[in-house]
Amino acid sequence: MATSNEGSEDDLSGGCYPIHIKDILNNQYQITRKLGDGGSSTVWLALDIKFRRHVAVKIIVASKADRAADEIAMYEHLCQSVPSAYSVYVTELLDSFQLQRPDGIYHCLVLEAMGPDVDDMLEYHPSLVSAASTHYPIWMVKSILKQVLQSLAFLHKHGIVHGDVQPGNVLFSVPSFPNCATEELEQFANDSKDISPSVPKVDDNTDENHVAEARSLGEYVSLEPGFTVKLADIGSAFLMNNPPKKAYTPLDLRSPELILKNQLDEKLDIWSFGCLFFEIMTGKALFSPPLVGAEAEHRDNEHLWQMHDRLGFFSRDMVLGEMKHISGGDDVPSAMSLESKFNSLKPMDCSETEASRITNLMRRILQYDPTKRPTASEILGDVWFAGE
């Protein structure tokens, strides 16, 4: 059978590892289909020949070896602290190994196979979205957010900050997946896209001119009450007692302390959760700093001004301290408060009373001073989550 080769503009020195459908990695994992890709890795569905189960193999680009080491270290910390409990909240690490090529060493993490993230899932279940709405019904939003909070509470309890809480790292579980036949899951060569002719081959054996399209497992996810989601990708995580100087949070989910280069702790996750809360409820980002083509200072400037517009004035200490260099300009966006933006985008099944409860909770979460933000456990105790 013809196979599909993984090759693209990233397949240069230190880039993506070249993969063919039906390749066997580490004498154990037979590649079945491509699940997804990102800036630092590709993820493949594979049949674990030894244990006769399907798994996800995350192959991290050679140039990001340090990121792989960090992720494995976080998993080791979890396994040593709570070996039987962490997989309820975070995608489970089953194995790890390395692949070596002339251009570098590729670290591979074998994880439990998961479905799409909360953004992509709607493509597989369009019936969830009514003509007058853009996102999940409220009962599903509440369940997703509650499970994210439980995951954060668990990580924080054990001294870990996730560092990259975003829609792309909230994945649906696939409860019926183990019963699927391998043939049903297999990806074929014609399920691919062309590569630019200017892209150099990785080696003489990579003679295909296409790259496998990502195909998630959305069709195998059940969204009945009782569905589960987990946090994925702890490659940006860090220990509370050893915070980094910066974090790899998506630009629009950055907290004030991250922009202002202040010390980081678990309240970084709480701010990101507040932004995630808004985005999952409405289908739109709360903040939208320029992502491309803007200098860092201008981007940060505009992001802070958007915070001011949505949430109100910064404290006097912040204005006279870290923010004294920030100034507005002609391109400062027109003011729209958190409440105004939410009410203009809220789901059709969200009443005015519930909208008020939700925005009050968002304001409680999105406080500029990280010490004033509630913990994940405290948010779970809010009437909107606890009053079911």
CA-to-CA separations, 358 to 16, 86, 98, 152, 349, in angstroms, rounded:
42, 29, 46, 20, 13
In the 8-state DSSP scheme, what is residue 103?
T
What are the phi and psi torsion angles at 253 (to 5°)?
-105, 5
Please tell me which residue, 219 or 376, carries the higher pLDDT value: 376
Among residues 41, 42, 20, 40, the alpha carbon closest in space to that of 31 is found at 20
The dihedral through the CA atoms of 302, 308, 310, 311 has a sign that is positive
Task: Answer yes or no: are the C-beta atoms of 267 and 274 closer than 8 Å.
Answer: no
CA-to-CA separations, 104 to 30, 40, 61, 65, 293, in angstroms, rounded:
22, 14, 9, 9, 31
* Rounded-to-integer distance, Cα 22 and Cα 185, Å: 12
Q: What is the pLDDT of residue 175?
A: 82
Task: Answer yes or no: are the C-beta atoms of 276 and 167 closer than 8 Å.
Answer: yes
Task: Answer yes or no: are the C-beta atoms of 363 and 387 closer than 8 Å.
Answer: no
* Rounded-to-integer distance, Cα 46 and Cα 28, Å: 9
187 falls in which pLDDT band (50, 70, 90)? low
**Residues in the annotated binding site for ATP:** 58
What are the phi and psi torsion angles at 96 (to 5°)?
-150, 150
2 falls in which pLDDT band (50, 70, 90)? very low
Beta carbons within 8 Å of 204's beta carbon, 6+ residues apart: none
Task: Answer yes or no: are the C-beta atoms of 259 and 368 closer than 8 Å.
Answer: no
Please write the tens of the pLDDT for every residue from 267-306: 999 999 999 999 999 989 999 988 776 788 888 888 999 9
Q: What is the pLDDT of residue 141?
A: 93
Does the pLDDT of residue 362 top 90, yes or no? yes
Q: What is the mean pLDDT of the chain?
A: 83
Q: pTM of the predicted model, to two decimals?
A: 0.86
Task: Answer yes or no: are the C-beta atoms of 289 and 299 closer than 8 Å.
Answer: yes
* Rounded-to-integer distance, Cα 310 and Cα 289, Å: 13
Please write the tens of the pLDDT for every residue from 47-99: 999 999 999 999 999 888 888 888 999 999 998 888 778 999 999 999 999 99
Looking only at the bridges linking them, the beta strands covering 29-37 and 24-25 are: antiparallel
Please write the tens of the pLDDT for every residue from 142-166: 999 999 999 999 999 999 999 999 9
Please tell me which residue, 339 or 321, carries the higher pLDDT value: 339
Does the pLDDT of residue 200 top 70, yes or no? no
**Residues in the annotated binding site:** 58
Cα within 13 Å of Cα(309), Cβ side:
18
**Alpha-helix residue ranges (DSSP H) falling in the chain:** 65-81, 121-124, 138-157, 182-185, 256-259, 267-282, 296-311, 316-320, 338-345, 352-365, 376-380, 383-386
Does the pLDDT of residue 198 top 50, yes or no? no
- CA torsion angle 381 278 289 16 (round to 10): 90
What's the rounded mean pLDDT across residues 356-362? Answer: 97
Task: Answer yes or no: are the C-beta atoms of 81 and 89 closer than 8 Å.
Answer: no
Q: State percent of the chain over pLDDT 90.
A: 52
* Rounded-to-integer distance, Cα 290 and Cα 278, Å: 19
DSSP 140-158: HHHHHHHHHHHHHHHHHHT
Q: What is the pLDDT of residue 178?
A: 52
b (16+ CB within 10 A) / e for 292-310 = eeeeeeebbbbbbbbbbbb
What's the rounded mean pLDDT across residues 198-216? Answer: 53
**Helix pair angle (338-345, 267-282), 10° resolution:** 40
Residue ranges of domains in the chain, CATH in brackets: 13-113 (3.30.200.20), 114-189+217-388 (1.10.510.10)
* Three-class DSSP category at 231: strand
- H-helix or E-strand containing 247? none
